[in-house]
Amino acid sequence: MTINLLGLGRQELTAYCATLGEKPFRAKQLLHWMHQSGAADFGVMTDISKVLRERLCVEAAIAGPTVVQDTVAGDGTRKWLMDVGTGNAIETVFIPETHRGTLCISSQAGCALECSFCATGRQGFNRNLSVGEIIGQLWWANKCLGAYASINKGDARIISNVVMMGMGEPLANFDNVVGAMQLMLDDDAYGLSRRRVTLSTSGLVPAMDRLRDTCPVALAVSLHAPNDALRNELVPINKKYPIRELLAACVRYIEKAPRDFVTFEYVLLDGVNDSVAQARELVETVKSVSCKINLIPFNPFPDSGYARSKPDAVSRFRDVLVRAELVATTRKTRGDDIAAACGQLAGQVQDKTRRAERRNQRHATDAGIQESDVEVLP
């Protein structure tokens, strides 16, 4: 069975080269070829001996993701649907802006946390992605966008920022996500700064502490509510790690973070969490944490049960935060015409949690239909 070198970090690649009787500098060469030149063919690696290249062709591979759909929105946002096997497909999104390009990467096929306003959570959960599948999204996007040529010429990066905000909860796939981020940060791979790699979490407190000590990148926290009662409904993991514990973890994280603040993401849902009173409560809730608030108008998806907050409600909410001297921004919705906006990523998930089945049964019960009358697909 061949080994996919795309998913090996520096230490693993060095160890692999040692098994071939090669010195550590070979790992550095391979990192350069794969991640700085986008090579998928050992034959083009001209500074590596012919004997080694021939052996690698037999024993190893550089296998990126298989793209099954490539869609471009009217605003230039680009979304790739990538096959990860056994009927599962993930989504990766590139968001071009005037002075930067941001790639939104998935970490799981589906998500087990079931935040109520998120399309990914509705799909259920199948499995964690491997290091190769995570870093492969960046590898492919660079190839597709012609970014490797720009990097080698010393031009400005086409992909300047990476956000772990796609499908899945990154900290629930801790080891593989950290392995992929370490490749993003490695100067012999992608060479991104810690400030330009952002991980978004729903609040897995112990894993936040591990990340702080292992690979502290920029941190975004999906808050979405000013109190535990509402957050329990919107972000169920709050029942295990309530806001008080979450905020304490944020304060600890900042001690080693590349930025002196944490970003709190707050999706605005019409009539649910967008009142002036809730804005004032939010000010009191986060006052102990050096933070920036990123307000995100809800991006609808079928049968979500929620609506986007009205523009005047968004403005009133933000004004309360600004008057309290909090840094608050409103995220511009990008890619919603191709379901590539925040909270809309769904892909294709063979749900092992049977979440959709249970939801159908609940809806049927609410409608007065017997469970035996509901057809459940295997």
Read off the pLDDT of each residue in 367-372 and give the average, rounded to a whole number. Answer: 39
Read off the pLDDT of each residue in 153-164 and give the average, rounded to a whole number. Answer: 85
Alpha carbon separation from 169 to 27, 64, 108, 120 (Å, rounded): 30, 22, 7, 10
Q: Are residues 51 and 81 in the same domain?
A: no
Q: What are the DSSP E strand ranges found in 237-354?
A: 262-268, 291-297, 327-330
Q: Are residues 71 and 25 in the same domain?
A: no
Q: Are residues 222 and 275 in the same domain?
A: yes
**Which is catalytic among the residues 17, 111, 215, 342?**
342
Nearest Cα residue to 111 out of 237, 20, 25: 237
In a domain, 354, yes or no: yes
Task: For Cα atoms 245, 247, 253, give the angle at the middle one, nearest 5 degrees.
Answer: 105
d(CA 243, CA 51): 58
Place of tokens 């249970």: 358
Q: Are residues 178 and 48 in the same domain?
A: no
The residue that leads in pLDDT, 275 or 360, is 275
Residue 21 domain boundaries: 3-61
Q: Are residues 77 and 202 in the same domain?
A: yes
**Which is catalytic among the residues 22, 91, 114, 265?**
91
In a domain, 130, yes or no: yes
The residue that leads in pLDDT, 315 or 362, is 315
The residue that leads in pLDDT, 319 or 365, is 319
Decide which of 61, 83, 105 is a domain's last residue.
61
Residue 118 known to be catalytic? no
d(CA 237, CA 248): 16
Query: For position 282, which CATH number holds?
Result: 3.20.20.70
Mutual angle of helices 205-214 and 243-254, in 10-degree steps: 0
Decide which of 61, 76, 98 is a domain's last residue.
61
Q: Are residues 27 and 175 in the same domain?
A: no
Dihedral angle sign, alpha carbons of residues 293, 298, 299, 301: positive
Q: Are residues 140 and 21 in the same domain?
A: no
The residue that leads in pLDDT, 272 or 75, is 272
Element (H or E) spanning 229, and its range?
A: helix 228-234
**Predicted local confidence at residue 151, as pLDDT:** 61
Does residue 240 carry a pLDDT above 70?
A: yes
As for how many domains the chain has, the answer is: 2
Q: Are residues 52 and 112 in the same domain?
A: no
Residue 342 known to be catalytic? yes
Query: For position 32, which CATH number holds?
Result: 1.10.150.530
Beta strands 197-201 and 161-164 are parallel
Q: Are residues 27 and 84 in the same domain?
A: no
Q: Are residues 169 and 314 in the same domain?
A: yes
